């Protein structure tokens, strides 16, 4: 993607001020109103309340079986909530069958009609709406050129590559100009390179069409790069809803912290909270964090520190705050960064990453070296669950 | 030595391909040529009951005489006599009506089976094939019992006060259709079920998602995708029904004859082997020509699509 970077800069600029979720006057386009879904004894979705706003690129992220797809299918109308309501633009969708809902879905398997051509597949939805023939032709042609499928109009799905099929599925769902486009693991079936370029195309499409996209994915990178907000789900519940950077930097639970990237979790008890600082007694000694969160004195907490925020050095750092020493167990060299696994004196394993800023082949720190790990108080988050 | 291995493999492969061809030549082409030859002969009071017979001992001259004695007379008499023409038409009519009924009932059954819960499907499949455990003849005789004047069907109809007088079922076209539909149903259900069962159900969701109500989805998605199964079922039923002999003979009346019965009569009652052979050859052409034409068109359509 040669234009990817320029595009994402433009998007970033446009997105900077886009935050309808923090505006109390804004009305959500999609509202899950205390929705639950049970299949027999299994609870797939457990009391989910969620608002999604117009123009958002919203990601439902979680491990498989966490209920994210069920949530999406309830919005599309393929599942009926056991409890609660799903609202679209204020309208209760409970009694609206899937074929009357102004949302369209891109299926994980694409679900292209094998007996129809590319044109036939893309035109299918418009025909159902009774759109005049001439308008169908122009809209289908427009959509096919938007997803760069010109020249393949008369092909059947089995004559297309995986990437082409993915774009037909996208075109078929977009051509009806849905109020919300639902994407169920849209990139899962593509190989890595194609996935990355398609990501940018999706972002560009969403921004240029000004539509609301809801994507279901188990790939955190995908969720982080694509979306305006991410809902992390676990066992049918929503663990946290926030912007990608908030999710990463201010996770609210150990599950979220661990699911979104690598993290060091240090268990301890709150010793003192004063002047906005919290001191925690842990097996690694007394550690300090800048924000206590909702922790109270004496409470058992976990200190979460991302590996890239930890400084690794051979000598003891000058300021003694949050510095622990240990032995390097192994070093993972990734080119741009190296990951160091360090065993502390207490037996706790910690991970630190450092950018490889020089072109030296031999790194100064290697296995079995004794090193110091340190981080500033504001690099750590205090988690109570 | 290095080159010998692949060529041996190719030879082995062509041998595998050859086996079905040899089978077809031995058990289809040669018998057909014999029937064709007999159809061009004349009946005779002899053993075998036709002339000329081909004798290798007489050599080339004998062969020429043999060819000269062959004649299309039997085909001409087929065309001249209304009996044969009406038998053909009757067979085609019965086959068309029965196949249509089979398609309606068979599609509904297959659809129900394919949509049933996964664990029930093998049981349903078993039930469809269960009648094959009993002899075909016994099952048709059972229908005589059911359809006769004081049979089960009339007893039920009378008990329900649907009729005042017991209607006659046996020796009617209705009885033939009932017998045929009953006997051929598995041949219609199984291929359609196979086609429906492998259909991806997300396609139905996709259609609904794109604004298509369920009944329309059935016509726009389910039916086109089950087309190969429907075609297979129709061919599997229509072709043997046209030549059906046992069912019309046991359940049907004497005033209308299907071509199978006519053929049987010519062969066994009249002992006119050549005419019976001509009837068989025309029947074969009647079935093969439209099917081959259809397949040709279908292949062209598929190639045009790709």
| pLDDT 10s digits, B194-231 | 999 989 889 999 999 999 999 999 999 999 999 889 98
Minimum Cα–Cα distance from B225: chain A residue: A115
Over range A8-23, report the average pLDDT. 62
- How far B301 CA sits from the closest chain A CA (Å)? 13
pLDDT value at position A134? 92
pLDDT for A15 beyond 70: no
The pair of three-digit structure tokens given for residue A65, joined into one six-digit string: 């079986």
| Closest Cα in chain A, distance from residue B235 (Å) | 22
User: Is residue B245, in this structure, part of any structural domain at all?
Assistant: yes
User: Which comes out higher in pLDDT, residue A9 or B17?
Assistant: B17
Average pLDDT, chain A: 85
Mean of pLDDT values over B280-289: 90
Residues in chain B whose Cβ is within 8 Å of chain A: 200, 202-203, 205-214, 216, 220-221, 224-225, 227, 305-306
Q: DSSP state, A319?
A: S
User: Which residues in chain A have Cβ-Cβ distances shorter than 8 Å to B200?
Assistant: 109, 111
Terminal C-alpha separation, chain B: 42
Chain B residue with CA closest to A100: the answer is B211
pLDDT value for A121: 93
Report if residue B25 sits inside a domain.
Answer: no
Range of the domain at B204: 77-305
Q: Which pLDDT belongs to residue A203?
A: 86
Task: Provide the number of structural domains found in chain B.
Answer: 1
Lowest mean pLDDT across A78-92, A363-377, B110-124, B189-203: A363-377
The size of the A-B interface in CB pairs under 8 A is 65
pLDDT tops 80 at residue B138: yes
B34-93 confidence digits (pLDDT tens): 999 999 888 888 778 888 877 777 778 878 888 888 888 889 988 888 889 999 999 999
B56 versus B267: which is more confidently predicted? B267
Find the CB nearest B209 among A98, A109, A113: A98
A346-367, pLDDT tens digit by residue?
888 889 898 888 887 777 788 8
| C-alpha B218 chain-centroid distance | 28
As a whole number of angstroms, the distance between CA A368 and CA A82 comes to: 56
Question: For residue A318, what pLDDT is reported?
Answer: 77
Residue B105 C-alpha, separation from nearest chain A C-alpha, in angstroms: 25
Find the mean pLDDT for residues A5-29: 65
Let me know: does A277 contact A267? Beta carbons within 8 Å: no
Contact A174, A209 (CB under 8 A): yes
Average pLDDT over residues A189-207: 84
The CATH number covering residue B141 comes to: 1.10.3720.10
Flag whether residue A38 sits within 8 Å of chain B, measured between CB atoms: no
Give the pLDDT of residue B278. 93
Say whether pLDDT at B8 is over 80.
Answer: no
Residue B168: what pLDDT?
86
What's the rounded mean pLDDT across residues A304-325? 84
Mutate to test the interface with A, among B210, B213, B226 (most CBs of A within 10 A): B210
For residue B7, pLDDT beyond 80:
no
Nearest residue of B to residue A169, measured between CA atoms = B206
Asked if residue B51 is part of any domain, the answer here is no
CB-CB under 8 Å, B224 with A104: no
In this structure, is residue B20 part of a structural domain? no
Q: Which of A332 and B108 is assigned the larger pLDDT?
A: B108
Q: pLDDT tier at A13 (50, 70, 90 boundaries)? A: very low
User: Quick check: A80 contacting B, CB < 8 Å?
Assistant: no
Does residue B159 sit within a domain? Answer: yes
- Find the closest chain A residue to B203 by CA distance: A111
Q: What percent of chain B has pLDDT over 90?
A: 43
Query: In the structure, what pLDDT confidence band is assigned to residue A41 with cuts at 50, 70 and 90?
Result: confident
Q: What pLDDT is attached to residue B92?
A: 92
Distance from CA of A31 to the nearest CA of B (A): 19
Residue B49 lies in a domain: no
Neighboring chain A residues of B223 at a CB cutoff of 8 Å: none
Judge whether A105 is closer than 8 Å to chain B, CB to CB. Answer: yes
User: Using the beta-carbon criterion (under 8 Å), do B209 and A100 form an inter-chain contact?
Assistant: no
- Is B3 contained in some domain? no
pLDDT tens per residue across span A107-162: 999 999 999 999 999 999 999 988 899 999 999 998 998 888 888 888 999 989 88
pLDDT higher at B27 or B54 = B27
Pick the residue from chain A with its C-alpha nearest to B216: A128
pLDDT for position A303: 87
Give the pLDDT band (50/70/90) at residue A6.
very low
- Output the average pLDDT for chain B: 88
Contacts of A103 in chain B (CB under 8 A): 209
Read off the pLDDT band of A332 (50, 70, 90).
Answer: confident
Best mutation target among B209, B228, B302 (most A Cβ atoms within 10 Å) is: B209
B7 inside domain = no
Query: What is the per-residue pLDDT across A247-268, written as a single tens digit (0 to 9) for each?
Result: 898 888 899 998 888 888 888 8
Least confident of A190-199, A288-297, B103-112, B114-123: A288-297
Determine the 3-state secondary structure of A347 from DSSP: coil
Residue range B254-278: mean pLDDT, rounded: 88
CB-CB neighbors (< 8 A) of A117 in chain B? 305
- pLDDT value for A273: 80
Cβ–Cβ gap A128/B205 under 8 Å:
no
The residues facing A301 across adjacent strands are A268
A5-14 mean pLDDT: 46
Task: With CB atoms and an 8 Å threshold, state whether B210 touches A104.
Answer: yes
A152 Cβ under 8 Å from any chain B Cβ: no
Which stretches within chain B are classed as H helix?
A: 4-24, 30-39, 59-69, 73-80, 82-115, 121-129, 136-147, 152-159, 173-197, 202-209, 214-217, 223-225, 227-242, 246-251, 259-264, 273-305
Domains, chain A: 4-102+178-254 (3.40.50.300), 262-383 (2.40.50.140)
Check if A133 contacts B (Cβ < 8 Å).
no
Q: Which residues of A touch B207 (CB under 8 A)?
A: 99, 113, 124
Contact criterion met (CB below 8 Å) for A204 and A10? no
Beta-bridge mates of residue B43: B50
Query: Cβ(B267)–Cβ(B276) under 8 Å?
Result: yes
What is the least distance, in Å, from the CA of B226 to any CA of chain A? 10
């Amino acid at each position: 993607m040669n234009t990817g970077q320029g595009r994402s800069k433009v998007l970033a600029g446009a997105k900077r001020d886009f935050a309808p979720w923090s505006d109390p006057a804004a009305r959500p386009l999609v509202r899950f109103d205390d929705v639950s879904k049970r299949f027999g004894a299994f609870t797939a979705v457990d009391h989910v309340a969620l608002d999604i706003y117009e123009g958002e690129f919203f990601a439902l992220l979680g491990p498989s079986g966490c209920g994210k797809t069920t949530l999406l299918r309830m919005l599309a109308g393929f599942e009926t909530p056991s409890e609660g309501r799903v609202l679209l633009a204020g309208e209760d969708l409970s009694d609206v069958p899937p074929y009357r809902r102004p949302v369209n879905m891109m299926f994980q398997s694409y679900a292209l009609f094998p007996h129809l051509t590319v044109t036939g597949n893309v035109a299918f939805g418009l025909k159902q709406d009774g759109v005049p023939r001439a308008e169908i032709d122009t809209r289908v042609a427009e959509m096919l050129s938007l997803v760069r499928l010109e020249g393949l109009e008369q092909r059947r799905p089995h004559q297309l590559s995986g990437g082409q099929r993915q774009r037909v599925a996208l075109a078929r769902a977009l051509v009806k100009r849905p109020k919300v486009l639902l994407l169920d693991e849209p990139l899962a079936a593509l190989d890595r390179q194609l996935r990355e370029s398609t990501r940018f195309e999706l972002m560009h499409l969403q921004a240029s069409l000004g539509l609301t996209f809801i994507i279901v994915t188990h790939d955190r990178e995908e969720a982080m790069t694509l979306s305006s907000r991410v809902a992390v789900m676990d066992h049918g519940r929503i663990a946290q809803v926030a912007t990608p950077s908030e999710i990463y930097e201010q996770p609210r639970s150990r599950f979220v912290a661990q699911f979104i990237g690598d993290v060091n979790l240090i268990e301890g008890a709150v010793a003192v909270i004063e002047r906005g600082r919290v001191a925690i007694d842990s097996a690694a000694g007394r550690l300090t964090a800048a924000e206590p969160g909702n922790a109270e004195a004496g409470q058992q907490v976990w200190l979460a520190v991302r590996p890239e925020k930890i400084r690794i050095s051979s000598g003891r750092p000058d300021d003694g705050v949050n510095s622990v020493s240990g032995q390097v167990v192994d070093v993972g060299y990734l080119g741009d960064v190296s990951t160091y696994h360090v065993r502390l004196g207490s037996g706790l394993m910690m991970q630190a990453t450092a950018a490889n800023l020089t072109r030296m082949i031999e790194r100064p720190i290697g296995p079995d070296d004794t090193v110091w790990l340190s981080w500033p108080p504001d690099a750590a988050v205090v988690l109570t669950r | 030595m290095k080159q010998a291995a692949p060529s041996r493999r190719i030879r082995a492969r062509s041998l595998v391909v050859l086996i079905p061809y040899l089978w077809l030549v031995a058990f289809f082409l040669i018998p057909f040529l014999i029937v064709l030859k007999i159809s061009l002969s004349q009946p005779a009071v002899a053993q075998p009951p036709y002339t000329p017979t081909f004798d290798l001992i007489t050599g080339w001259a004998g062969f020429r005489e043999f060819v000269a004695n062959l004649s299309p007379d039997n085909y001409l008499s087929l065309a001249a006599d209304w009996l044969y023409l009406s038998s053909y038409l009757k067979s085609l009519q019965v086959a068309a009506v029965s196949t249509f009924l089979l398609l309606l009932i068979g599609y509904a059954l297959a659809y129900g089976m394919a949509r049933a819960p996964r664990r029930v499907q093998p049981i349903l499949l078993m039930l469809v094939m269960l009648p094959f455990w009993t002899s075909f003849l016994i099952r048709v005789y059972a229908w005589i019992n059911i359809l006769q004047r004081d049979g089960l069907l009339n007893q039920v109809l009378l008990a329900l006060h649907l009729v005042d007088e017991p209607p006659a079922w046996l020796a009617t076209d209705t009885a033939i259709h009932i017998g045929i539909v009953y006997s051929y149903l598995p041949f219609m259900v199984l291929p359609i079920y196979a086609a429906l069962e492998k259909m991806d159900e997300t396609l139905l969701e996709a259609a609904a998602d794109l604004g298509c109500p369920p009944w329309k989805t059935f016509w726009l998605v389910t039916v086109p995708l089950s087309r190969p199964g429907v075609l297979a079922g129709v061919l599997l039923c229509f072709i043997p029904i046209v030549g059906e002999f046992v069912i019309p003979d046991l359940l049907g009346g004497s005033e209308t004859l299907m071509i199978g019965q006519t053929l049987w009569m010519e062969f066994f009652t009249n002992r006119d082997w050549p005419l019976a052979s001509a009837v068989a050859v025309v029947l074969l052409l009647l079935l093969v020509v439209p099917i081959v034409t259809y397949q040709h068109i279908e292949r062209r359509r598929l190639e045009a699509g790709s």
